[in-house]
Chain A
Amino acid sequence: MQFGIFTVGDVTTDPTTGRTPTEHERIKATVAIAKKAEEAGLDVFATGEHHNPPFIASAPTTTLAYIGAQTERIILSTATTLITTTDPVLIAENYAKLQHLTDGRVDLMMGRGNTGPVYPWFGKDIRDGIALAVENYALLHRLWREDVVDWQGRFRTPLQGFTSVPRPLDGVPPFVWHGSIRSPEIAEQAAYYGDGFFHNNIFWPMSHTKQMVGLYRRRFEHYGHGPADTAIVGLGGQVFMRPNSQDAVREFRPYFDVAPVYGHGPSLEEFTEQTPLTVGSPQQVIDRYAAMRDHVGHYQRQLFLMDHAGLPLDVVLEQIEILGTEVVPVLRREMATGRPAHIPDAPTHASLVEAAGGGRDTTVHAVDDVTGKAPEAAEASR
């Protein structure tokens, strides 16, 4: 089971000091957070993608490559990559490049994005959200698996004889998760391809999460990828911890009460009761998250949102330290208890290479001007 953190890259005022970080500070903080996650023993760092203030999460592969150069082990992922408004050709190129640079420490989570104006800014229509996700991913899937692609669809200019470069590292595309909160179509899409399904349940009651994951598992089996309980499931979460739970509540409440994503609505108590937000002692977090599998079955990835509500960087780093040293080691043991041997781990580059019977170089060389064939093929046919 993988544990990690995800960030949406929001620039939020610290309500206790009135100070708002600069973009530069927040961008650098994101790097510090990712490095801390690795140091604290976590497995995954994922960044969101946004194209509007107050977010600094545009250009995710730039951020991830920079982090990749300064880390050794942590998996670099997204939460989410906008499959609707980003050209699938650019996704194919950017993430394959990232895969090479980081020696395979990459996977992605596809999402549609719910910021209305982003669609028209990128020449799309939000009403086509599902159709865009379906068509664009179908193309991306082919671009990583076929050297030469002829393609035409509704939303993008056609491709004739197109090769996306670089080819995926070792001939193995990055593993893909599909994230959706409400749309059964996306759970269906993840099941169809045998990809992972991530339910970002941080603002949703568990009854809904259970329904979405249940659908994905049933359809995963339907499409012949294996028994429902072997489908690859990820969940979101968010926590704030202090050794004494009253201290955690006292310290976090001023942040919660005015946070753009939490504030002015349900009370902290209602919100923690109805969503996975847990504000309390490390033991309370352990108890809450160890029980997640009772709702969705044995799962593969748990990501936590730690840099939320305008918390200052030093507090976020401290929280990641507590998560990595006091919570996750216990959760790893708890989650392993009673986990049947046939439940897979989340695929990694190494496991995918192994499943493919070993890595192979899939470099596509330029075609021979005379024969129209790749040099080796042209050579062989002479």
Chain B
Amino acid sequence: MTTPGTSTRRVAVVSAGLRQPSSTRLLADRLAEAAGTQLAARGVDVDLRVLELREYAHDLTNHLLSGFPSPSLGEAIEAVTTADGLITVSPIFTASYSGLFKTFFDVVDADALEGMPVLLGATGGTERHSLALEHAMRPLFTYLHAIVVPTAIYAATSDWGAEQAGDGAGAPTGLARRIERGAREFADFVAGREPRQAADPFAVPTPFEQLLAEN
């Protein structure tokens, strides 16, 4: 049940495509649009924030080396860690997500995505790499204690030209069907949860007596 004042959810979209335009971004946009439609059907407005990781490639390397984010990367990280749900898409490179994609999630605090609904997508040249979603990307987010929805969407180059509504009844098939199914699962999790409260360790510190007693 949605109550007034809680009918908006913040969704972050992280795309790790390298070229512009990129099919990774194309899939990310399709997923975001489908999620928006599904959430709207549940009476939830979406506040969308799309991040192209290529814009942060240098800042990410700098963060690895210096230990702190540039102001713009800091804002990007915060956009993700304070979101109510995350849609994230990586190209598959050499049997796994791209290095840029991994670098971004390496500099996000390990507990920042705990309990966050996540919809995964990946792109590649052929369908043969699709299980990288299940063998590489899903375990990464499981480690981060995110809630990864059951359907992860892979788009091979050929998917972009495949028949999308070929059963005569107008129901989507192929990639469009997978996108809709993933978006529906994602929307159920996002709409079914209260908006995320960002934990501020500086606002309410653990009292020192408790730290002493824990010893």
- Chains A and B bind each other: yes
Q: Is the CB of A214 within 8 A of B202?
A: yes
B52-78 contacts to A (CB < 8 Å):
61-62, 64-68, 70-71, 74
CB < 8 Å neighbour of A203 from B64, B67, B201, B212:
B67
CB neighbours (8 Å) of B66 from chain A are 203, 262, 265-266, 271
Q: Name the one of B65, B202, B212 contacting A184, with C-beta atoms under 8 angstroms.
A: B202
B58: shortest Cβ distance to chain A, in Å?
A: 9
User: Of B64, B68, B71, B214, which one neighbours A131 at CB under 8 angstroms?
Assistant: B214
| Of B30-38, B90-98, B152-160, B203-211, the one with at least 4 CB within 8 A of chain A | B203-211
Classify chain A: how many residues form its interface, as a range: 20 to 34
B70 touches A131 (CB 8 A): no
B147 to chain A, nearest CB (A): 26
Contact of A274 with B202 in the complex, beta carbons under 8 Å: no
The complex places the Cα of A138 from the Cα of B213 at a distance, in Å, of: 11
Inside 8 A of A211's CB, which chain B residues have their CB? Answer: 202
Closest to B61 in A: A265
Confirm or deny: A164 has a beta carbon within 8 angstroms of a beta carbon on chain B.
Answer: no
Interface residue B215 (Cβ < 8 Å from any Cβ of A): yes
Q: Please give me the residue from chain B that is nearest to A135 by CB atom.
A: B215
Q: How far is the CB of B200 from chain A (nearest CB, A)?
A: 9
Q: In this complex, what residue of B is CB-closest to A181?
A: B67
> Is residue A205 contacting chain B, with contact meaning CB distance below 8 A?
yes
**Is B208's CB under 8 angstroms from A184's CB?**
no
Residue from the list B67, B211, B215 in contact with A188, Cβ < 8 A: B211
A265-B65, A266-B66 known; A215+B211 contact, CB < 8 A: no
> In the complex, what's the smallest C-beta–C-beta distance from B99 to chain A, in angstroms?
17
Bound complex: CA A13 to CA B201 (Å): 40
Report whether B68 and A212 are in contact in the complex, using a CB–CB cutoff of 8 Å. Answer: no
Q: B211: nearest residue on chain A (CB-CB)?
A: A134
CA distance A81 to B68 in the complex (A): 24
Encode A171-194 as 1/0 by CB contact (under 8 A) with B.
Answer: 000000000000011011101100
CB proximity to A under 8 Å, residues B179-215: 201-202, 205-208, 211-212, 214-215
Interchain nearest-CB distance for B197 vs A (Å): 17
Give bound CA distance, A214 to B205, whole Å: 12
With an 8 A cutoff between CB atoms, is A55 at the interface? no
* A191 with B208: CB separation less than 8 A: yes
**Shortest CB–CB separation between residue B54 and chain A, in angstroms?**
18
Q: Does A161 contact B (CB under 8 A)?
A: no
CB-nearest residue of chain B relative to A189? B208
Expressed in whole angstroms, the minimum distance between the Cβ of B187 and any Cβ of chain A is: 35
Cβ of A154 within 8 Å of any chain B Cβ, yes or no, is yes
Q: B-side interface residues toward A, CB under 8 Å?
A: 61-62, 64-68, 70-71, 74, 201-202, 205-208, 211-212, 214-215
Q: 16 additional contacts, CB 8 Å, given A188-B207, A275-B68?
A: A134-B214, A138-B215, A154-B215, A184-B206, A185-B206, A203-B66, A203-B67, A211-B202, A223-B208, A264-B65, A265-B62, A265-B65, A266-B62, A266-B65, A274-B70, A274-B71
**What are 29 pairs between A and B in contact, CB < 8 Å?**
A134-B211, A134-B212, A138-B215, A184-B202, A184-B206, A188-B206, A188-B207, A191-B208, A192-B208, A203-B66, A203-B68, A204-B68, A205-B68, A212-B202, A215-B205, A219-B205, A223-B208, A262-B66, A264-B65, A265-B62, A265-B64, A265-B65, A266-B62, A266-B65, A266-B66, A266-B70, A270-B62, A270-B70, A275-B68
